[in-house]
């Protein structure tokens, strides 16, 4: 008689469930902006590095470059991002936040901070720090491999 796999304690399953919870909390807190975590990551990255090309930005936010253009298109439709061809290479698209996009990021940032705190709320302060450190270590090790 075979025993079924214990998904309740499987790291992959727990990470997937935690990600589902994180996305739901994010969506609830930022419902007024109709923005996804990936879209916010893109906007936030452009705040720090205006004029970044699409391929570099996709790598920076760890998002699939093949579907990145459609995400940028949605941000353009909202009037938050401006996309232009590079003067050196017309095939390369450079991205900037619009003034409306900068305003949106500034308004969203405190809500994102609140959402992140709520995600970690069941843990004690030391556990929160430990979880974030362990997740960062896991992601870093997998990114290099």
pLDDT in tens, 58-90: 989 988 878 888 999 999 999 999 999 878 887
Query: For the chain, what percent of residues have pLDDT higher than 70?
Result: 97
Q: pLDDT band for position 2 (50/70/90)? A: low
For residue 141, what pLDDT is reported?
86
- E strand residue ranges, 1-145: 52-53, 81-85, 93-97
Compute the distance between CA of residue 68 and CA of residue 54 in angstroms, rounded to an integer. Answer: 8
Boundaries of every domain in the chain: 7-144
Task: Show the CA angle centred on residue 23, arms to residues 20 and 29, nearest 5°.
Answer: 140
Q: pLDDT band for position 125 (50/70/90)? A: very high
Query: Which carries the bigger pLDDT value, residue 141 or residue 90?
Result: 141
Q: Please give the CATH topology (third level) of the domain spanning 7-144.
A: Arc Repressor Mutant, subunit A (1.10.10)
Cα torsion angle, 46, 50, 56, 60, sign: negative
């Amino acid at each position: 008689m075979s025993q079924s796999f214990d998904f309740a304690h499987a790291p992959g399953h727990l990470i997937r469930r935690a990600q589902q919870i994180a996305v739901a909390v994010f969506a609830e807190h930022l419902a007024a902006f109709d923005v996804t975590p990936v879209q916010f990551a893109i906007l936030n990255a452009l705040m720090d590095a205006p004029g970044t090309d699409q391929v570099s930005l996709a790598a920076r936010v760890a998002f699939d470059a093949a579907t990145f253009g459609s995400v940028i298109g949605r941000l353009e439709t909202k009037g938050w991002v401006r996309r232009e061809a590079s003067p050196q290479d017309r095939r390369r698209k450079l991205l900037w936040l619009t003034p409306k996009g900068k305003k949106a990021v500034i308004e969203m940032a405190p809500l994102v901070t609140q959402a992140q705190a709520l995600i970690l709320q069941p843990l004690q302060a030391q556990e929160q720090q430990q979880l974030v450190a362990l997740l960062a270590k896991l992601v870093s090790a997998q990114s290099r491999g």
